[in-house]
Structure 1
Amino acid sequence: MTKVKERQQDEHATRARSQGREFALKLLYLFDIRGKEDADKEMPLLFAREPAHRESHSFARELYEGTASRCEELDAKIVGIAENWNIGRMAYIDRAILRMGVYELLFCQDIPPKVTISEGIELAKRYSTDKSSAFVNGILDKVFQTCCPEKT
């Protein structure tokens, strides 16, 4: 395989994962506000409304289901790291970004931590407040440093 073809495949995979993260974020936001049943019902509607590569939908499903199923465990990690923050005080969208990022850091061994952190920052810039990207960066970086030293 040529280097150009390899680079194109890598770029395709990167775009698919970025788009998958956006889908998963929307589902996790709904999960937090209205519960798992509504978020589960929304998934096929979201995928139909926003066509994408099959890989994007597959990755979104994996992230959403993995994050939602470990929500309490992820919240405990976040609260343990976020000094003077109660999980309930965090904005819904920030909470969803953090949960998804922590899930990736802890359970998605094939994704480089720097990519996970960078993608979390970008999602915060796109969907949350001006200060959220720094907050997300600080929490995810601290989770990475304390919980994933073998990935450094």
Structure 2
Amino acid sequence: MKRHEARQKALQALFQLDNTELTLEEAMDHALERSFEEEQATAYNSFFEQLVRGTTEHKEAIDELLTANLENWSLSRLPKIERTVLRLAVYELRFSQDAPHGVVLNEAIELSKTFGDEKSSKFVNGVLSKFIETK
């Protein structure tokens, strides 16, 4: 699985975790469209798993960082897809060293274009640019 696809699948799993009572493993399996038996036979793609588990484990700190960088918005008022894209990107920017910041920003914008509405990518770009400027 390529990194772009891993980010898409991670976004889907994280979105499900934010909206359902699924366990982490169930959300990852569902995003990968795998059954429990298939999961037992094959390990998760390590990058995909790192993104989902890392974002989930650091969610409280990520939300604090986002709240401090949102202007005229509260985290709870954000559309769920933008909130999920931002959480995933902030995890990569602050807690992972796997990709250059420009790549993370571009990937987040592309995810916003794919899964959000026409304004999502501009909003995500504006919020995330603050994280890159302050690094």
If the length of structure 1 is used for normalisation, what is the TM-score? 0.77
Unmatched 5+ residue regions in structure 2?
A: 35-41
Show the counterpart of 1:4. none
**Is contact 1:74–1:102 with CA below 8 Å preserved after alignment?**
yes
Show the counterpart of 2:25. 40
C-alpha displacement of 1:110: 2.9
Show the counterpart of 1:8. none
Show the counterpart of 2:49. 61
CA distance in 2, matches of 1:134, 1:105: 18
CA distance in 2, matches of 1:71, 1:36: 16
Provide Cα deviations, 1:73-97, integer angstroms capped at 9, x if missing partner.
Answer: 1011111011111000001111110
CA distance in 2, matches of 1:55, 1:81: 36
Q: Select the residue among 87, 90, 98 that pairs with 1:99.
A: 87
C-alpha displacement of 1:34: 1.3
Matches within 5 A, 1:1-150: 16-35=2-21, 37=23, 39-49=24-34, 57-146=45-134, 148=135
Percent identity between matched residues is: 37
Residues 55 and 103 (structure 1 numbering): CA distance in 2 closer, same or farther, change over 3 Å?
A: farther
2:12 partner amino acid:
K
Structure ID, larger Rg? 1
Name the SS for the 1:130 alignment partner.
coil
If the length of structure 2 is used for normalisation, what is the TM-score? 0.86
**Is contact 2:67–2:74 with CA below 8 Å preserved after alignment?**
yes
**Is contact 1:67–1:100 with CA below 8 Å preserved after alignment?**
yes
Provide Cα deviations, 1:45-64, integer angstroms capped at 9, x if missing partner.
Answer: 43245xxxx99832111101
CA distance in 1, matches of 2:69, 2:114: 24
1:23 partner amino acid:
K
**Is contact 1:16–1:55 with CA below 8 Å preserved after alignment?**
no
1:24 partner amino acid:
A
C-alpha displacement of 1:143: 1.2
- Aligned-residue RMSD, C-alpha: 1.9
1:46 partner amino acid:
A
CA distance in 2, matches of 1:28, 1:46: 9
C-alpha displacement of 1:108: 1.7
